[in-house]
Amino acid sequence: MKETPQLRRRPRWPWALAILLVIAVDALLLGFRSGECIDYTVESGALSTCTSGPALGSAGTWLLAAASVVVIGCLARRLVRAARHR
């Protein structure tokens, strides 16, 4: 007697976990800021100033955001495929 082949179910949790991991790495990398302060003496008459910005720089931040959108889009597509396969 032949058994009918059963379709193997694709698990969804690895794709959801990968999306959450990308979001966590983004939050970690975008959460760090760098900056510098220039302190002048009172006698010089100049004002002390401080600057701050993303640790990755402006270009690095945009590059990380664009790459994350592409990766999350691909992972979400795989998650939907796995959900549809059930």
**This model's pTM is above 0.85:** no
pLDDT digits (tens, 9 = 90+) for 27-46: 998 888 888 888 887 787 88
Asked whether the CA dihedral 19, 20, 23, 24 is positive or negative, the reply is: negative
Q: What is the separation, in whole angstroms, between the first and last Cα of the chain?
A: 26
Report the C-alpha gap between 48 and 12 in whole angstroms: 54
Amino acid 8: pLDDT: 67
pLDDT value of residue 28: 92
